[in-house]
């Protein structure tokens, strides 16, 4: 994961969306703000996009950066939308998260540093599984 993190940092050349904490609160609303700016997690199996099957692209709800394609979405059975890869690798960045007794990796939007979810190695086939909060996303159909 460390080389993945370094690569993502080196590739980013876009502009950051910068807002005050109060501006984020107003823009996102209470629930989105708690997840995207305070790193909360929506309840498992409650997200709007968990069972979304329409073709399109999932964008950051904070800055509209394209993050994930429906082509990389799959049913992981974990209660959150899961993706095998970002639509553009440099649009997300990964940060070590030690908020729990075990180490995991947080996924953040490169455009605005909003919390999206976490990335894990899938237990079945060992591929990366981006587990993302629906509330952090906006879906745009093709």
Q: What is the mean pLDDT of the chain?
A: 89
Measured between alpha carbons, how far is 49 from 16 in angstroms, rounded to an integer?
26
What the chain holds in terms of domains, given with CATH numbers, is 2-43+55-141 (2.170.150.20)
Q: Average pLDDT of 10-27?
A: 82
Nearest by Cα to 4 from 135, 114, 130: 130
pTM: 0.87
- Give the tens place of pLDDT for each residue, 64-97: 999 999 999 999 899 999 999 999 999 999 999 8
Confidence (pLDDT) at 3: 39
């Amino acid at each position: 994961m460390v080389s993945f993190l370094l690569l993502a940092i080196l590739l980013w050349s876009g502009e950051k969306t910068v807002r005050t904490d109060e501006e984020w609160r107003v823009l996102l609303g209470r629930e989105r703000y708690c997840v995207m700016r305070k790193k909360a997690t929506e309840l498992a199996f409650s997200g709007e996009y968990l069972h979304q099957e329409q073709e399109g692209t999932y964008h950051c709800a904070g800055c509209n950066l394209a993050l994930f394609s429906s082509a990389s979405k799959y049913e992981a059975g974990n209660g959150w939308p899961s993706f095998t890869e970002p639509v553009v690798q440099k649009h997300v960045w990964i940060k070590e998260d030690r908020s729990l007794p075990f180490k995991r990796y947080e996924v953040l939007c490169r455009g605005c540093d909003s919390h999206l979810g976490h990335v894990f190695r899938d237990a079945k086939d060992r591929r990366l599984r981006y587990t993302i909060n629906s509330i952090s996303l906006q879906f745009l159909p093709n």
